[in-house]
Structures are given as C-alpha cells and as structure tokens.
Amino acid sequence: MTDDPNTPTNTHTAEQSKAQWGKAPPMGGEHDLLKGPRLRRQELWTLLKIFREFMRGFRKLHFIGPCVTVFGSARFDEDHQYYKMARATGAALARSGYGVMTGGGPGIMEAANRGARDENGLSLGCNIELPMEQVPNPYLDRFVDFNYFFVRKVMLVKYSKAFIVLPGGFGTMDEVFETLVLIQTKKIERFPIIVMGKEFWEHMKVFIENALIANETIDAVDMDLIQWTDDPDEAVEMIAQYAANGF
C-alpha cells in the first residue's frame, strides 16, 4: 500500500475483506487489559501492542485529507428513512470535497460510505474487531482494523474536521458524548457536531434540557456545541461556516 493521498485504493481484496472483517480478537486483548493488575511483563507487552496499533492507524490515515466522521447505527437497511438520509449526507459531503469516515459496517455507516462513493468521494472505515461476525460494507476505498476501542475512537476524532450523528444505539451515544466531552473540556478544537434525525433524538434533547441543564450538571451554553438539522446540504453548510472561520 502506498501512503500517497492520490491513490485511495482498497488495502484488501473483496475476498480478504469478507474473511477478515469483524474477526474475533485473540484471546486476552482488551478483555484482559481491563480485568485489573497483571504481571508487569504482560502490561508491557500490551503497551507494545497498543503502540503498534496506533502506528498502523497513523500510517494508513495520515494522507487522507479533510474528513468528516459519520456516527450511526448498523441496524438500518437501505429502505429506512435514516439510511437514505445518511446516504444523501455522504454524497453532499463528497461533493464538498470531504472524505467520509465511518465504522465501516452496515446500516448508517454503509449508507454514508455509499453516498460518498456515489459522488466519487473518498470513503473510509475504521473497523473494531469483535467476537461476533460482521460483514463489511462494499463501499469502502480503505479501511483499518483495530482491536482496541479507544485506539479506534482516537482515529475517528483525530482525522475529522466535523462529526455528523445519525440515529443509533449505545455505541453511537458513546461516540458522540465522548466527542462532546473532548470539546467541552477543550481537549480538542470546537469542531462542528451536527445531529440529524431530529425526531429520533427529541427525547434525548429533552433529557439533556430537563435533567442535565435543569440540575446544573452541565451549563446551558453547552447545548450550543450541538447543531440540529435533517437537511444534508444544510449540514454541509454548517461545516463550511466553521471552516471559513478556521474551525
């Protein structure tokens, strides 16, 4: 594989992708890391594996150019309204010159990657190795496998200029709230976070306003970190406005 940004070809054949995507992590791995203290040589070996995983991600994603990460559920099929919304959003991002990065799986991830491919844009996936099998979506120009969730999340944040959040479950909420915390605490720049599927997220919005803000566990101004729309072109325009101000 070349690191040249102008050659965003697949790093795997279709057959290799099907064989490797979603492969179960080796015995140990993240599960053993989080069980508690171990022998110091085991901890050192884990650190080396984590370092290697970071380096692999940095190498494969270094030249991808400006990207937007799209978060969302793997459980929507192509007839669902949110799949169609994600596909239109991926296409709008590609038309504006952004690469589209997702978790690389089905559902919303597939739709966003598919939209980017529709417009000949760069389509990227960051896969997490899980015990259950997972089929890769066929619309990826490049993907990277990760064993550790936290390494994968670093890559999804590090190489993105904005984040678009479509309907999803625990994983989607984990990703968006961690990103919000990074912005709120000024660990990263104030990149746009755009939530789409307003009807789906309405209960969450009410919870934030009536529980978190009402009980002062966050400040009311923290809601300004989130923008809301169901229009893919408006979402891209929101990103463009931040880009014009140098993010």
- Per the structure block, which two tokens stand in for 115? 């939209």
Question: Are 51 and 166 a contacting pair, CB within 8 Å?
Answer: no
Helix (H, G, I), strand (E, B) or coil at 146: strand
3-state percent breakdown (helix, strand, coil) of the chain, nearest 5: 50, 10, 40
Residue 79 placed within a domain: yes
For helices 149-158 and 170-184, what crossing angle results, to 10°?
Answer: 60
Question: Are 130 and 118 a contacting pair, CB within 8 Å?
Answer: no
Q: CB within 8 A of 10, min separation 6: which ones?
A: 17, 140, 141, 142, 143
Residue 225 placed within a domain: yes
Residue 140 placed within a domain: yes
Of residues 140, 155, 163, the one with CA closest to residue 226: 163
Residue 33 placed within a domain: yes
Residue 91 placed within a domain: yes
**Could you tell me which residues are beta bridge partners of residue 142?**
124
Give the chain's domain count: 1
User: pLDDT tens per residue, the chain (247 residues)?
Assistant: 444 444 444 444 444 444 444 555 455 577 788 888 989 999 999 999 999 999 999 999 999 999 999 999 999 999 999 999 999 999 999 999 999 999 998 999 999 999 999 999 999 999 887 766 566 789 999 989 888 989 999 999 999 999 999 999 999 999 999 999 999 999 999 999 999 999 999 999 999 999 999 999 999 999 999 999 999 999 999 999 988 776 5
Using a 10 angstrom Cβ sphere, with 0-12 exposed, 13-18 middle and 19 or more buried, the burial of residue 175 is buried
Residue 48 belongs to domain with CATH number:
3.40.50.450
Helix (H, G, I), strand (E, B) or coil at 57: helix
Instruction: Supply the pTM of this predicted model.
Output: 0.84
Residue 233 placed within a domain: yes
Cα gap 92→56, rounded to integer Å: 29
Residue 25 placed within a domain: yes
pLDDT of residue 130: 72
Domain extent at residue 18: 14-244
∠235-89-85 over CA atoms, to 5°?
105
Residue 2 placed within a domain: no
**Could you tell me which residues are beta bridge partners of residue 128?**
146
Cα gap 106→117, rounded to integer Å: 15
pLDDT of residue 162: 97
pLDDT of residue 135: 62
